Structures are given as C-alpha cells and as structure tokens.
Amino acid sequence: MQYGKVEISGVNTNELKVLSEEQKLELLKRVRQGDKKAREELINGNLRLVLSVLQRFTGRCDSADDLFQVGVVGLIKAIDNFDPKFEVKFSSYAHPMIAGEVRRYLRDFQPVRVSRSLRDLAYKSMLAREKLTERLNREPTTTEIAEETGESRADIVTAMESVSEPVSLYEPVYSEAGDTLYVVDQLKDSCDDKTWLDELAVKQTLASLAPREKKILYLRFFKGRTQMEVAKQIGISQAQVSRLEKSALDKVKAQF
C-alpha cells in the first residue's frame, strides 16, 4: 500500500489544507451550531492527519483508498464527539479515534476469521487500552486492561491475539548498511546441533545397510506396511522379515 501517491479516493494529497488549532476550534464551534460548511471545511482540513495515522498500517490492507475512507469515518466521529472542554488539542483527540476505526476495519475484514464474541472482546480491550494510555500516559499492561474491562487476563490475551494481523515471514525487522534481517531469519525449529548430528548419523547408518535391510525398513516405516505384506512383496517369510528388521534396527540404535 502506497501513501506517497498524489491521489487517494479522488483526493489530491498535494493540495490538502492544514488548519491551525485556533482555526480548528473556531470551526468546531460553528459545527456545534449546525454549520454544515464548517463541518466540511474541518474534515478537509484534517485529511493530512488521517494520512499520517494510516502510515502506521502500511502493508496491512491491499486498498489504500478503502483504508483512507475508513480513516475519514474515524475523523468524522472525532469531530462529532470532540468537546473543547476536554482541554486537549483536537489532533491529539482525533488520532486514536482514527486509528481505532482503522483497527476495527482490519479486524472485521482480516483474512483469518474469528468468532463474533472474540472480536467484540478484542474491540472492548482496544478501547480500554486507549483509555488507559491516555490516563496513565504510557502503554498499559495486559493485567491493567483485564482489570479495566472486568475480563480475565487469559481471555484478553486470546482476544487480542485473535485479531492480530498475520506477519509475513519476509517482513523486515532490522536493517543496517544494506544488510536486512527478516522475520524468517529469527525462526528456528526445536532441533539443536546435536539433533542434526544425530540425523546425519542415522542417514549414514541407513546407507551402510544391506539393500534388503534398507528396503524392509523403507516399506515398514515409510510406507506403513505390515511384516506379512513386506514378506509377500519381497518373496521371503514373515519370520525372515522380522529377523532382518530387528538386525537393521539394532545397527541404527548402535550409533546412539
């Protein structure tokens, strides 16, 4: 998603107006008096604020136009609910309102679907987080969010994780001097070096087995055949299959 382009949803971003706080307060007063022209002017004068908020969500939606329109909805809600008595700048009040609207949109239209109850709890948790952030002047802990909502900490964690946007394995997490570190570079399985050495030893041992022993192990443990089926396919008795299988396994075990 590119916000550097000149036009989004038919709006030329290079021609957007920027209002001072005094102008915003004056327009807000006129909006309270039912002035529709002032309302439109206030919306157009804060579209750059919408764009700045959307920068936080780059790459999380295929359509910049859709996300821009959702951000404008958040801006309108901020205009409708803002009260000059709050003694805060309008932009400071509108910023979390716009971001919250975008998060709700991404939550409801994300690729991985979750239950309605879980989405509602996540929405409730995000609202509580925004309120606590404003009250505490810092990011609240999960425990504090749980206390604010009256929900259990475990439920809060589950709900918030359920609406988290999937991250690409090739999302850059660090870059210096042209050397970029991606998410995939930080992943590893539970196997340690010893396990890799053990696997190598197993392969070497299997390679040293007699052809008939290797075929028996392959049919038994890779194809899931019974000893009777293996015996019929190879043309020997089940007793011979059992003896050769045990001998081959003993050779493999001897390596460990």
Query: How large is the average pLDDT for residues 234-248?
Result: 89
Selected residue with higher pLDDT from 211 and 253: 211
Q: How far is CA 238 from CA 187, 206, 209, 227, 241, in A?
A: 45, 22, 19, 6, 5
CATH 1.20.120, the chain: domain bounds = 7-162
Query: How large is the average pLDDT for residues 213-242?
Result: 87
CATH of domain 7-162: 1.20.120
* pLDDT at residue 198, rounded to an integer: 64
Tokens representing residue 204 in the block: 């070497």
* pLDDT at residue 94, rounded to an integer: 86
92 has a pLDDT exceeding 80: yes
* Cα–Cα dist 163/146, whole Å: 17
Query: How large is the average pLDDT for residues 57-64?
Result: 66
DSSP of 40-77, one letter per residue?
HHHHHTTHHHHHHHHGGGTTS-S-HHHHHHHHHHHHHH
Confidence (pTM): 0.42
Beta bridge partners of residue 7, listed in sequence order: 12
206 has a pLDDT exceeding 90: no
Query: How large is the average pLDDT for residues 242-252?
Result: 87
Q: Give the least confident one: 44-48, 119-123, 188-192, 214-218.
A: 188-192
Burial 189-199 (b: 16+ CB within 10 A, else e): eeeeeeeeeee
* Cα–Cα dist 117/155, whole Å: 11
* pLDDT at residue 145, rounded to an integer: 92
Q: How would CATH label the architecture of 193-254?
A: Orthogonal Bundle (1.10)
Query: How large is the average pLDDT for residues 39-48?
Result: 88
10 has a pLDDT exceeding 70: no
* pLDDT at residue 147, rounded to an integer: 93
68 has a pLDDT exceeding 70: yes
197 has a pLDDT exceeding 70: no
* Cα–Cα dist 112/105, whole Å: 13
CATH 1.10.10.10, the chain: domain bounds = 193-254
Question: Measured on CA atoms in the order 143, 145, 147, 149, is the torsion positive or negative?
Answer: negative
Confidence bin at 4 (pLDDT 50/70/90): very low
Query: How large is the average pLDDT for residues 185-214?
Result: 68
191 has a pLDDT exceeding 90: no
Q: How far is CA 22 from CA 42, 48, 84, 97, in A?
A: 12, 17, 11, 21
